[in-house]
Amino acid sequence: MTGFDMSRWSQAYLRSVEEALSSWVHAHAPAGLGEAMRYAVLDGGKRLRPLLVMASMEACSQGRSQAWMADAAMRAACALELIHAYSLVHDDMPCMDNDVLRRGKPTVHVQFGEAQALLVGDALQTLAFELLTPEQSDIPPAIQARLCGILARAAGHAGMAGGQAIDLASVGVKLNIDQLRQMHRCKTGALLEAGVVMGAVAAQALPEVMPHMLQFGQALGVAFQVVDDILDVTADAAALGKTVGKDAANDKPTYVSLLGLDAARTEAARLEEQAQVALSQSGLKDTQALQALSGWVLQRQN
């Protein structure tokens, strides 16, 4: 691992991801929709999902890299971020979490009104699938179709949207740890897992590598949510860029409310360890960026 500079690696990709998002989420969409979509997506966000896609693509390409692979990975990275962004816009709406602050800015419905926020979320979701199916491209159609399928399964009723439905139904309800884990595996984990898998697909990863990447993504995804629950009670709004203590105030079950703070921290560390084991079992060599991202998930303060 000597010689790998994570800060430099992530800065370079963060710049490319921002540029790609800015060019793909353009202001052309009519009646202010384009500007509102850009407001929802640009200038903020940790871009963890895009970075996971790029890191996974790099790790899995193993020197077999082709020009279209970088394009496929960047499209997958941005598509995933658009799905994430759409879910935040809709989550923040008054009928859901009724949040007014996101990434330190007024939420989309506060800034543009509820009706426009609804459309922004809808159009961002659609744009994700548009990015994955460019009209002119060297990306093999089989890769395009597979990326669409993985993204749809991760974002839909059996993934993120399903997890949100469980979340909605669980207010004031006593879940056990398995139910909580299942909810979070859908709600947050599915997209992070999809990031790892889509990066692998974009790099045409060898079939024997895929199960390990899947395991890595699963463990990382749940760990992310456990840390989220911890930060909801320990962080301050300025560092987090959003309202804190919302889950407790809304009587939502969290790892912290269920296990207590110390046990939640132990759970996060256990999941991160699982992720590292999966990665070493993959037999892949260039996994430094994936390892660093996984470490960051545990250590992050926002």
Residues that bind a second copy (CB under 8 A): 28-34, 37, 86-87, 90, 93, 95-96, 113-116, 118-119, 121-123, 125-127, 129-130, 132-135, 140-142, 144-146, 148-149, 151-153, 155-158, 161-166, 168-170, 186
- DSSP string computed for 186-210: IIIIHHHHHHHHHHHHHTT--TTTH
| CB of 46 or CB of 146, closer to a second copy | 146
| CB of 166 or CB of 248, closer to a second copy | 166
Return the DSSP state at 62.
T
| CB of 198 or CB of 284, closer to a second copy | 198
Least distance in angstroms from the C-beta of 130 to a second copy: 4
Count of residues making up the chain? 302
Q: How many CB atoms lie within 10 A of CB 53?
A: 34
Residues contacting residue 133 through CB under 8 Å, at least 6 positions apart? 144, 148
Least distance in angstroms from the C-beta of 28 to a second copy: 8
Least distance in angstroms from the C-beta of 5 to a second copy: 37
| CB of 147 or CB of 205, closer to a second copy | 147
User: What DSSP element (H or E) covers 154?
Assistant: helix 141-155
Least distance in angstroms from the C-beta of 135 to a second copy: 7
Least distance in angstroms from the C-beta of 102 to a second copy: 17
What is the rounded distance in angstroms from the CA atom of residue 159 to the CA atom of residue 110? Answer: 27
| CB of 47 or CB of 75, closer to a second copy | 75
Q: How many CB atoms lie within 10 A of CB 2?
A: 4
Q: Which residues of 223-247 are buried (b: 16+ CB within 10 A; e: fewer)?
A: bbbbbbbbbbeebeeeebbbbbeeb
Return the DSSP state at 47.
-
What is the rounded distance in angstroms from the CA atom of residue 66 to the CA atom of residue 139? Answer: 10
Q: What's the token pair of residue 139?
A: 């990306």
Least distance in angstroms from the C-beta of 269 to a second copy: 28
| CB of 68 or CB of 296, closer to a second copy | 68
Q: Dihedral of CA 286/206/160/75: which sign?
A: positive
| CB of 22 or CB of 133, closer to a second copy | 133
Q: What's the token pair of residue 117?
A: 């926020």
| CB of 30 or CB of 63, closer to a second copy | 30
Cα radius of gyration rounded to whole Å, the chain? 18
| CB of 89 or CB of 258, closer to a second copy | 89
Name the 3-class secondary structure at 96.
coil
Least distance in angstroms from the C-beta of 22 to a second copy: 15
Least distance in angstroms from the C-beta of 95 to a second copy: 4
Least distance in angstroms from the C-beta of 50 to a second copy: 19
What is the rounded distance in angstroms from the CA atom of residue 48 to the CA atom of residue 293? Answer: 8
Contact 78, 21 (CB under 8 A): yes
